Amino acid sequence: MAMNEDKERFEHPVYSVLEQVPGGGVGLTTVDRLLTWGVTNALWLFPMATSCCGIEFMATACSRFDLDRIGTIARGSPRQCDVMVVAGTITVKMAPRVKRLWDEMPEPKWVIAMGSCAISGDFYRDIYSVVPGVDTFLPVDVYVPGCPPNPEQLLMGLHRLKEKIERRRRGEWVERDPAPVAAGLRVPFPRIGDPDREPDMDAEQLAAAMAIGKHNG
């Protein structure tokens, strides 16, 4: 699976109007370019910051690195955001809530996994309560490795995401970002998009996570 290709469409009302007009295809292309220019220069981030990587995210947003200067700001509501930045460890109990917040974000939308914990679970990957990489339940578009990644690396990740969106909107094929693999750092657990991932794994993961903390009797 290369990025969220089936979900990367703009649902602007002007599209349906232009489709009715003879020769409206030219206008459609122009509007599409305009929307692509707009979205790539105004990526609003939903910071899913849970631990130390969140501090680097905050540093990126503050005056020294000044995220705003590239049109990118952080918002507190998922309904206003284009990009979820997962920065920190995600526990199994937290994962369904993260997924729910992701579901509340409007299309088109993207995910950045920031830091080793979000990418693979890192030090905590073998603990029963830790998700061994958020790409087990989210369609990650860009990985920003590091422990923690510094602000420049996050800015570079955003730049890579912007390039990917622009290329996809031009109709170019964009390969899925390869998940960083270091010896012993990733558990052999199928990620979203892996050919050996069972289709019902999402449902099983969600059911198991929702059952945590519930005891019979």
Q: Which of residues 46-75 bind ligand SF4 (CB under 6 A)?
A: 51-53
In this structure, the dihedral spanned by the alpha carbons of residues 59, 61, 67 and 73, taken in order and rounded to 10 degrees, is 160
Query: 184 vs 199, which CB is nearer to ligand SF4?
Result: 184
Q: Which of residues 132-171 bind ligand SF4 (CB under 6 A)?
A: 147-148
Q: How far apart are CA 5 and CA 185, in angstroms?
A: 28
Give phi and psi for 25, each to the nearest 5. -60, -35
**160, 142 in Cβ contact below 8 A?**
yes
For the bound state, the minimum distance from the C-beta of residue 166 to ligand SF4, rounded and expressed in Å, comes to 29
Q: Which of residues 1-40 bind ligand SF4 (CB under 6 A)?
A: none
> Which distant-in-sequence residues (6+ apart) come within 8 Å of 119 by Cβ?
113, 133, 134, 135, 143, 145, 179, 180
Query: 139 vs 148, which CB is nearer to ligand SF4?
Result: 148
**97, 126 in Cβ contact below 8 A?**
no
For the bound state, the minimum distance from the C-beta of residue 98 to ligand SF4, rounded and expressed in Å, comes to 14
Query: 135 vs 162, which CB is nearer to ligand SF4?
Result: 135
90 sits near ligand SF4 (criterion: CB under 6 A): no
For the bound state, the minimum distance from the C-beta of residue 9 to ligand SF4, rounded and expressed in Å, comes to 33
Strand partners, 204: none
Token pair, residue 171, equals 């109709």
Query: 50 vs 201, which CB is nearer to ligand SF4?
Result: 50
Kindly list the residues in this chain that would bind ligand SF4 in the complex (CB under 6 A): 51-53, 88-89, 115-117, 122, 147-148
